[in-house]
Amino acid sequence: MYIVLCTVFLQHVAPSGYVGHIFCAEIFDKFASEFHAEESKRNLKILDMGCGTGLASHILKERFGYNNLAALDVSEHMLEKAREKRIFNRFICSYVTNKRVNAIQSAEFEGLVSSAAVTPGQIRPEAFDEILRWMKPGAIICFTCRHDAYVSVEYGYQAKFNELQKDKKWTLISNTETDYYRHPRANEFSHSKTRVLVYRVLPF
């Protein structure tokens, strides 16, 4: 299991103390660096799914040099905020469900990051059939899933992820439990921890 050791830069921490995006970006880069040469890694076509204001992609761009980033969010307001960062070259406004997103071609992306979007009430387990349609073989998918939701049988995330692995749609590369929030009262919340999951799309 990959354990992240990071220095939290204040400019990257959300006002709420949310830090899940930092680990998501760092872990994505760790595995992208394993599978790709440095120059080709920077040019990977990456989708930030549920990007919000672009916190995770800001780290990918500014710290790690990725330069081919696309933003997807259900909120036009959030996408407007993301545009202000000037890090994305494409914007997609859409829900993410098991229904086809016509704005995304099959096998279009070589990587995906998603921070704080794979969670009950937002992106449900059944959406991953459509998400995988967007990915090229060998693509790296790195996302957070709130720990309490991940371990809950009711929500079905683990069952769906295991089903996709059994069906040889992807293979698990890493499953790390880490902080979701960092502030003095974080331990009072059931969602203070998150999983950062990394899968690689098969075949590769």
Sequential DSSP letters for 36-48 = S-HHHHHT--EEE
Convert the pLDDT of each residue in 122-159 to its tens digit: 999 999 999 999 999 999 999 999 999 999 999 999 99
pLDDT exceeds 50 at position 15: no
Residue 179, pLDDT score:
80
Task: State how far the alpha carbon of 118 is from the alpha carbons of 122, 135, 142, in Å.
Answer: 6, 17, 11
d(CA 127, CA 155): 13
pLDDT exceeds 50 at position 6: no
Residue 18, pLDDT score:
74
- Residue ranges of domains in the chain: 18-201
Convert the pLDDT of each residue in 172-197 to its tens digit: 999 999 886 565 554 555 567 899 99
Residue 191, pLDDT score:
64
Residue with tokens 């070589």: 110
- Predicted model pTM: 0.88
Residue 153, pLDDT score:
97
Note whether 131 and 108 are within 8 A (CB): no
Percentage of the chain modeled with pLDDT above 70:
86
Which residues, other chains included, contact 71 with Cβ-Cβ below 8 Å and sequence gap of 6+?
A: 48, 51, 54, 57, 79, 82, 88, 90, 91, 92
Domain 18-201 top-level CATH class = alpha beta
